[in-house]
Structures are given as structure tokens and as C-alpha cells.
A and B are shown apart, each in its own frame.
Chain A
Amino acid sequence: MRLKTDVLQGTLALLVLKTLVRGPMHGYGITLHIQMLSKEVLRVEEGSLYPALHRMAQDGWIKAEWGVSDNNRRARFYSLTPTGRKQLAEEEKSWARLTQAVASVLQHA
């Protein structure tokens, strides 16, 4: 999906943060995970993922480390920082609020 607006960009961050709750993961792994859990609906393209990852690293929500992947390949693994965990909780709350609001509008409009 081509993420253009702020809301959707924030959504990507939320998805990534939630993914990393499970533990450290490299970029490709994050893509696969989101793809799988959303049943192929959400396909994150690399052109959008990496800028987002870098942005989140800049903001201090995740940190990156070099490691070795399952098939013995060198890859950069991202993990949640304590700030990131707090941010995740916030993001989940705002997402819940947002969806509630949209649902209310759709119900009564």
C-alpha cells in the first residue's frame, strides 16, 4: 500500500511497533509478519518501510543492531525501546479512539 497521509503513516508505525512486541525482527521479517497477520491485505513496500523504520529509530522508539538471520545471513534487527513500548500503548489508544469515532459517524450519518 502506498502510504501518503499522516494517518496512514502513523498506522504503519503502529503496525511495526506491535510486530516488534514479539521480539527483535529484521525489515523483511516485519514485512512478512504484517502481510501474514493481515491475511495479505496489507503489503508494506520496502520504499515505505525503511524510511519509516529510520524515522522511528530517530524518534527513539526502536533501535537497530546487526545480527544473523535464520538462514545465516547478516541482517539488521530492530527492537522496541522502553519509549517505544510507551508509544505503542499511546498509538493503540488513539487507534481505538479513531475507529470508534469513524464507526459512530457511519452509524448515525
Chain B
Amino acid sequence: MSWLSRLRHTFRSGKLDDELDEELRSHLEMRVADNINAGMAPVEARLDARKRFGNTSLVKEDARERDIIGWLETVAGDLRYATRVLRKNPGFAVTAVLTLALGIGVNTAFFSVVNGVLLNPLPYPHPEQLVALDESKPNFTNGSISYANFFDWQKDNHSFSSMAISRGYGFTLTGRGDAEQLDAKLISSDYFVVLGANPVIGRTFATGEDKIGAAPIVLIGEGFWKRKFEASPNVLGKSVTLDGKNYTIVGVISEAVDLYRNAHPTDLYAPIGQWSNPLLPNRDAGLGIHGVGRLKSGVSIEQARADMEGVTANLAAIYPDADRGIGANLTPFRRALLGDIQPILLVLLGAVGFVLLIACFNVASLMLARSTNRTREFAVRVALGAGRSRLTRQILTESILLSVIGGSLGLLLAQWITRATLRMLPTEIPRAADIRLDSHVLIFTAAISLLAGILFGLAPALKSSELFLSETLKESGRGSSGTRHRAQSVFVVIEMAMALVLLIGAGLMARTLSRLWDIQPGFDAHNVLTFSISMPPSVSDASAATIRAAFRNVHEKFASVPGVQALSASWGSIPLTRYDDEQLFWLDNQPKPSSENEMNWALSYVVEPDYLKTMRIPVARGRFFTDGDNENSRHVVVVDEVFARKFFGNEDPLGRHITLQQGEIKAEIVGIVPHVKQWGLDSDEAQQLRAELYVPFMQLPDGAMKLAPAGTTIVARSDGSDPTLFDSLRRVNKSMSDEQVIYGAQTMEEIVSASLSPRRFSMVLLGVFAALALTLSSVGIYGVISYLVGQRTHEIGVRIALGARRWDVLNLILSQGAKLTLLGIVIGVAASLGLTKLMAGMLYGVSASDPLTFIGVAIVLSVVAMGACYIPTRRAMRVDPLVALRCE
């Protein structure tokens, strides 16, 4: 019989049965008829015929087995049975499904994060060939590549099929509605060749179009194209006015290549030669430019490193002033992109896995508890001929049904959770836009649902199939509940151990965060607003004197806005952000060094006199700048305590002079201020470059002053009276000029908080997982103790009847709970001591085995666990011995 007819018969097995019945019946009738003809009495005839037929059921079953796909039918039967069983026990079913939905939902949500960020292949062809490039310099391992060096690297190397550089930049767009600030990237011509990205329409840059003085052209991003041009294909050839200059659009780039498009999408790509920074051609300039290269096929990164060593050594020999000591730093692209967040995400993935395990153990306990009530049912089935595997299959069907329903519910839950998680994600996480419930995630959900179902179904299935028929069929069978109880206890102990691990993890992160929050950054971050200002073209193209006058005007106008207490322009470094700027200098007792490598470095803050008042940084010694320190007076600088100690040791820096390389300006040190944490609340100490130098804004040399209109920051302290201060400032700004833009407003508090954001993300997630784990384990221990009380009601009745006090009963039950809890805590502590080492990199101010956290968490867990035991214990204490003894 063919497969098709088998399949057909499976679904119409009723008809098959009837046909077989009829055939056998007609055979029987024929024999009866013959028997009667041969002389038997009708009754005898029938009896004889039936005897000869034997067991018709077996015949029918045999036939059926051949004619249908056997296992499919049994599965269908099992499913129908399982559904019936679950419907009869709604309480159990709902509890189990909700528990599983929670566990699976949370796992699915977090897995979608891991999938989008870590697992999804990068949107470039052959991403394993991509390498991140930087210059390695004395103070920076991942230092900026200079424009001049890049072209030599591109020309001289033998290991890259293409190489490119890029730098973030902000352009002011005018002429299309309100003036607006755009996020852009300055790139070399081969940028999209390296990435292997084709334009949506138009073309990318050709060789030579990235040189200084080339025609102003630009590529626009898909998002910007949709926003400003309604995705019209006629956009090619149109022009946009950026920073006052007209750029022709030659192509549109897809948003798929923009890895950070969730947090800051790239609006434009301009050739790097278009940057009006006069320092661009300087071989020794460090302008925040970084590179990426594609290795030739078959070339390994080590070979490329060796090749670049030769290239940079060669350049150092030709240009000793600029390139002595400069090497190339090659990092695999994926590691550079994800290296920092990968360990954190994996730790969190492990943590969320614990939550699912706890959920599974809970449901397994529930099923074990229920199976006590089903022993009779199973015994009957065994007596009817069901094999052990048949029973196991039945129970597994039930558990898989539960987990599939739970999984589907969990999927719905995951959608909501994922959305909430995305809102909380730190902006440094790349590829956040790729986080969604895609096919990988769905497969993952299906897989863990199935696995979970098998996992928690296995224990009860195995237990149920070990039956002692004679005992369980008796009315008063106590049954083999002993082993069932032991399994449940094991589950609870494991659950609590896992909950403890998660709680400790969350606790350590919470303490880290509170430690970090306590760190003084060196300034008062409250009520300080920072934003950037971009001057109109009339100012940016003017003389240095005009620019200075413009800035003075801006200061005056902004400072007089009600609500502004103090205000200062700031050029250079901004604490706790990724904006850092350095100055090279030499001391007054040193001759002018022959090359940059012999000069000293310091972090540079080019500010106005009110900066200290705005940031509430006190003066340690000497004085800060006044309005008298301007372009017409002698040059002065202020240094921080680290600078003083580093370059002057125990000598007094006040009155000494340093010569700044920029403009070869000799300046007198007139003041010392305390150190400000530039690099990070916790990471600043470990940095090499910490010396800080303050230079008066108006004393910038004319060449540097001409760059200021493009993107100077303003910091303003508000007195709190105006909650929408930035809007007020914006109005004042607009009244000054239509082409002047202020943008990028952030409070200093937000900046400090953002610097802590990755850690905070981990802490919140771990906290949520730990809370879930704690809840589930409490439910678990409640269930086990309840079950225990139920099983021992009879015994308790006997004890009370024999004179035991309520207190003794309490002791009896509670000590069971205490034993489990203690065991769970011991195992949990042991596991944590090992596992928290994995998080050591994220901690600050607490060790991975901090005793305070461990003890605190253990206490919390004990209290919660004992609390969960309370209700069943009270029930035990209230047992009426008469009632208990009566029901056998």
C-alpha cells in the first residue's frame, strides 16, 4: 500500500475500521450459515464461528498498523489526550504556561539582542577581510592617522586590496528650511570600495576626488534622502549648501552600511579633502581620522602587520620629524567593533539562561507533584498493555504541549520586552537597528521551547514509568512518593543556587554603580548645559578679529538670557565625552625640541574666563583667566595639579613659562586648578595622558581661531529658573542670525550618566533576571513545601494526636525548608565564587568576591525562601488530627 493511501487512511481511520468490521462480520456470517447447514444449532453455530475467529481486536489492530502511518496516529491521540488532561487541570496548566512564557519570553528577547548585535553577519561582503587601522603613537595605541600618511600607506602597502579613512563631522545645512546640523562622515574615495557597498542610485567617489581642492561633491544617506528629498530619483545633480558651500549630490548610500544608525544616523558622506581644516595636509596632525582596510584574499592579518611595519618604518626614515615612533595598529574589524560589548552580552545571555532553567525546574516540580495523583491512571494503562515507552511518550507530549503554548505566549511577551530593552540600550552598542524578532530568533524560540519541554518532562516521565502495579492499585497506596520528593528537593536547591548567583551578580553591579556615581568628576555636573554652535558663513570666512568679535557678541547675548548664571565657550576637550584635544609644548628650561616626539603632551581646554564659574571648579593656587587676558595682552595658561606634579615635581609652576607648539607661543603659568576626570569616572586613573592645560579662548592664534566658528562648544550653568533654557537660547540665537545654529544640547548630568550607561544597562538587566529568578524559586520552594505538607498530613495528624505541639510541627516543616534553603545558598555561593570572576571587568570598587554583597544576598534569599514556606507551614500547624487520621 502506497504512502499516499497510508496518509489518506490515517485521517480517515474511522472509515477503515468500519470496512474491516464489515469484512470480518460477513466472513463470520458465512461461517455461521455453513455451520447451520452442516447441522449445528444456531447458537452453537455462532459460538463455534466466533471461537474460530479469535481475537478480532488484534486482527483489526494488525491491519490498521499496516494501513496507516502508525506513529502519526499515536501522536495525534497523545495530543488529544494531553489537551484533555490539561483542560481538566486549569490551575496547573495556567501556572505552568505562565512560568514558561516568562522564562522563554525573556530569553527570546535577550537572544534577539545577541542575534542582532553579535550573531548577524556584518552587512559587508567577506567581513573577515576587514581590518580597522590606526596609528600607534607614544600616547595612543589607537591614534589618528594623518591625511598625508594615509596616502603613503595606501600607495606603499602590499597586503590590502583597498584602504580608506573616515572621520565624523557635523555640517550646517542651510537653504532648505531652517538651518540644521547634520551628522556626516568625511571619507576617502575608496571607503565604499573597502566596505563593498554599492550606491542605491548614482555613484561613489572616484580616485582623486578626496584630494584637497577637488570639486565639492557629496553622497547622501538613505535616511536623509527620504527625509529631505522624498526619495526622489532626481536628487542626483542637485546641490546642498553645507557650511556655506554648495556641494553637488552624486549618489545615495543605503542605510544598511551605517552600523550606528539607531543612535546617530549618517546623513552625508563628503570627501575628506573638502575639510577646511588648515592642519589637514600636515603629516604630524592628529585629527581624529581612523581607517579601515580590506585584506587581499589569502593574506593574513599577521602578514599585513609585518607589511605595515615595513611601510611605517620607511616613512619614519623619510619624515623623521613627523613619523618617528609612529607605527600602524591593525585590529580585526569585528573585534574593534564588538570587542568591548561581547563579553558583557555573553554574561547576560548566561544569566538569562539561568532564568529559563529555573522556570523549567519549577514546571518539572509541578508535574512531579501532579503525577502522584495520576499513578492509578498510569497503572491502568500499563495493565491494558501500554509499554514504558508509551507512557513516557504520553508525558513528554503533555510537557511539549505545555512548552509550545508557553513558548508562543513567550514570543508575544518578547516583542514587548525587546521594545523596552531597545529604549534602554546604551548608544555605544552598534547594530542596534538590526535587533528584531527575525527568523533566527523564531527558530531559537521554537528550539528552546522544545528542549524545555523535553527537559522538564523527562523527570516526571521517568518517574511515572517506574510503577509498582500491585501497590498503586490498592486504595490506600502511599506510593513511591519518596523518590518524587527527593527529585523536587533537588530541583529547588538548584533553583535557589542559580537565583543566588544572579542576585549576587546584580548586587555587585549595583554596588559598582553606586561607587561610580560617588566619584567626584572634578566639577559640578548639576545644572550645566552643553551645546555646540556653528557660526554663519559670514563669520566663518572672515578674519580672526571678526571671529573674536562674533564670539564676544554670542557670549554677551547668551549670558544675558534669564536663567543663565555663567557661560563659557569651550574648544578642545570636554570631560567624560569622546571629545579630547591635545597640545604639544615644551618647558621654559628646555631648548626647542627638534621633532614632535621630544615635545610634551597635555589635554587642552581652550576656554573663556567664566569656565571655572560655570563648571564650579575651584582655583587651587594663583588665578584663573580674566577678560584682560585677551589677544592683545601677554599669553597666559593655567595648569592642573597632575600637570604641575608631572612637569615640575616639587617646584612651584607659578611664574614659569611653557611654549605651545601651536603658534610657538610662550605663555606664563598663572594658576593651578584641581584635576578633572576627562577619560571616565573610573578609567581616568589608568590613563597615560592626564596632564591638563587651560588656554584663554581669545588668545588662540589666528590660524586656529579661523576653525572655531565650525564647531565650538558652549557650556552654560543655569540657575534652575528656566526649565526650557535651551529653547530660550535657541530663540536668542535665531535673533542673531538665521544661519547660526546651536545644536546637540546635553546636560552635563546626562553626559556623566551616559558614561555609565553600559554598566547601568548590565545592572538593570541582571537585576531584572535576578528578580525573576528569585520569584520563580520562591514559587518553587513554596510548591515543594506545600506538597510535602500534603503528603505528610496524615503523619502530622498522628504526631499532634500523640501530643506534639503546634510549635513542634512548625519546626518540623520549617526545618525542611531551611535545610533546602541552606543547601541552595551553599551551592550558590560556591558557584558564584567561580562565576563572578567572569564579570570582574565590569566591576569597580568591589571585588568579585565581595563578602558584604554575598552575605547580604544570602540573607535576602533566606528571608524570601522562609517567607515562601510560611503559608504551607501555617497550614500544617492547623491540621486537625481527627480529620487527618480519619481520611486514609
Contacts and interface: CB of A to CB of B under 8 A. Distances in A.
A24 interface: no
Contacts of A58: 1, 66-67
Given A26-B27, A28-B27, A45 B33 contact: no
Interface residues of A, number: 19
Nearest to B54: A47
B647 interface: no
Given A45-B52, A51-B62, A71 B33 contact: yes
Contact of B23 (A32, A45, A51, A75): A75
Contacts of B31: 28
A47 B24 contact: no
A107 to B, nearest CB: 38
Listed residue (A27, A50, A73, A74) with the most chain B CB atoms within 10 angstroms of its CB: A50
B26 A45 contact: no
A97 B750 CA distance: 97
A58 B59 CA distance: 15
Nearest to A70: B30
Chain B interface size, as a band, is 20 to 34
A47 B54 CA distance: 6
A73 to B, nearest CB: 5
Contacts of A27: 23, 27
Contacts of B24: 46, 50
Contacts of B26: 26, 28, 69, 73-76
B63 interface: yes
A57 interface: yes
Interface string A80-100: 000000000000000000000
Given A54-B62, A54-B63, A54-B66, A47 B23 contact: no
A76 B31 CA distance: 15
A5 to B, nearest CB: 18
Contacts of A54: 62-63, 66-67
Contact of B53 (A46, A55, A57, A73): A46
A27 B24 CA distance: 9
B27 A75 contact: yes
Listed residue (A46, A51, A58, A69) with the most chain B CB atoms within 10 angstroms of its CB: A46
Contact of A51 (B22, B30, B63): B63
A54 B27 CA distance: 15
A50 B55 contact: no
B68 to A, nearest CB: 12
Contacts of B22: 74
Interface in A10-35: 26-28, 32
A83 to B, nearest CB: 13
Contacts of A57: 1
Contacts of A69: 26, 30
A19 to B, nearest CB: 15
A46 B26 CA distance: 12
B59 A51 contact: yes
B802 interface: no
B4 interface: no
A47 B1 CA distance: 21
Interface in B45-72: 52-55, 58-59, 62-63, 66-67
A103 B58 CA distance: 37
Contacts of A55: 66
Contacts of A51: 59, 62-63
A73 B1 contact: no
Contacts of A47: 53-55, 58-59
Interface string A48-69: 0011001101100000000001
A74 B1 CA distance: 23
A55 B66 CA distance: 8
A45 B19 CA distance: 20
A50 to B, nearest CB: 5
B684 interface: no
A26 B28 CA distance: 12
A76 B25 CA distance: 11
B156 interface: no
B29 interface: yes
Listed residue (B26, B52, B53) with the most chain A CB atoms within 10 angstroms of its CB: B26
A30 to B, nearest CB: 10
Nearest to B67: A54
B152 to A, nearest CB: 80
A71 B54 CA distance: 24
B66 A73 contact: no
Interface of A: 26-28, 32, 45-47, 50-51, 54-55, 57-58, 69, 71, 73-76
Give 6 nearest A-B pairs by CB, closest first: A47-B54, A28-B30, A28-B27, A76-B23, A51-B62, A58-B1
Given A51-B63, A69-B30, 18 more contacts: A26-B26, A26-B30, A27-B23, A28-B31, A46-B24, A46-B59, A47-B59, A50-B24, A51-B59, A54-B63, A54-B67, A58-B1, A58-B66, A69-B26, A73-B29, A74-B26, A75-B26, A76-B19
13 contacts: A26-B26, A26-B27, A28-B31, A46-B59, A47-B54, A50-B24, A50-B59, A50-B62, A51-B59, A71-B33, A73-B26, A73-B29, A76-B26
